[in-house]
């Protein structure tokens, strides 16, 4: 019997912020809230700023949500699971069209703000169906740390697969390690690890529940753990 020991977790609470100046990416960071402020240089070279806020939302309750953007000027685009929400100006803020979200769901979001102002400030909130207005932050937002899932302790010379309904990722095993590209898969991922060696049938090793890009696992047998102890 095999078990998977998670060595590194690929999930981080918060919102990923990406800062661009004149088309060049300058900084990537994970913040506790979807809030960003940028003061551009005084030499006139930095004409345009672009701020990207992105992550995976986990709503606290099912219902209708309206997103509120606090940004005075510039171009704005908000996309939830591939669907762009229309933003209308209401005084000093932008208000999105409503969207229904489930508390059992995980929703990828991406907000892009472009501005030529010397001081750029952006904040992203949501208005819940129960009337609570709160900033998008680490209580309900997650960031995936990587685009691969790494599994160690496998048999060399074989092929490793992550399978759900069919094969979702495949990788050769080199030096006991398989590295799966999961950049196109929506986290969290529920898959089973299979090993296929030459001339044999696929062997189901273990199932991974709620895996994220950036996770690192080591496969062990119960006998190995008994011999060495869990560490």
Per domain, the residue ranges of the chain are 11-144, 146-228
Q: Do domains 11-144 and 146-228 have the same CATH topology?
A: no
**Could you read off the pLDDT of 123-174 as tens digits, one per residue?**
999 999 999 999 999 999 999 999 999 999 998 889 999 998 778 999 999 9
**Could you read off the pLDDT of 63-121 as tens digits, one per residue?**
999 999 999 788 999 999 999 999 999 988 999 999 999 999 999 999 999 998 888 89
| CATH superfamily name and code, 11-144 | Toxin - Anthrax Protective Antigen;domain 1 (3.90.182.10)
**Could you read off the pLDDT of 26-38 as tens digits, one per residue?**
999 999 999 998 8
Q: How far apart are CA 108 and CA 52, in angstroms?
A: 13
Q: How far apart are CA 42 and CA 56, in angstroms?
A: 35
pLDDT of residue 227: 64
**What does the pLDDT average to over 35-45?**
74
Strand partners, 28: 18
Q: Judge whether residue 44 has pLDDT over 60.
A: no
3-state secondary structure of 91: coil
Q: Where does 146-228 sit in CATH, by number?
A: 2.60.40
Q: Does a cis peptide bond (omega within 30 degrees of 0) precede residue 188?
A: yes
pTM (whole model) above 0.75: yes
pLDDT of residue 46: 66
């Amino acid at each position: 019997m095999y078990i998977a020991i998670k060595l590194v977790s690929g999930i981080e609470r918060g919102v990923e912020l990406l800062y661009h100046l004149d088309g060049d990416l300058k900084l990537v960071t994970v913040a506790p809230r979807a809030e960003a402020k940028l003061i551009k240089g005084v030499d006139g070279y930095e004409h345009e700023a672009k701020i990207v806020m992105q992550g995976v939302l986990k709503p606290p309750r099912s219902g209708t949500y309206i997103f509120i953007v606090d940004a005075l000027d510039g171009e704005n685009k908000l996309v939830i699971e591939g669907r762009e929400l229309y933003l209308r100006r209401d005084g000093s803020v932008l208000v999105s069209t409503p969207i229904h979200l489930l508390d059992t769901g995980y929703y990828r979001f991406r907000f892009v703000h472009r501005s030529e102002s010397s001081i750029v400030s952006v904040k992203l909130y949501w208005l819940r169906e129960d009337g609570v207005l709160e900033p998008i932050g680490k209580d309900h937002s997650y960031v995936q740390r990587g685009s691969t899932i790494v599994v160690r302790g496998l048999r060399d010379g074989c092929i490793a697969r992550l399978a759900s309904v069919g094969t979702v990722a495949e990788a050769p095993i080199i030096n006991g390690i398989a590295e799966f590209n999961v950049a196109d898969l929506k986290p969290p991922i529920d898959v089973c690890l299979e090993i296929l060696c030459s001339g044999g049938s696929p062997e189901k090793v273990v199932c991974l529940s709620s895996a994220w890009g950036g996770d690192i696992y080591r496969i062990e047998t119960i006998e190995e753990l008994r011999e060495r102890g869990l560490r």
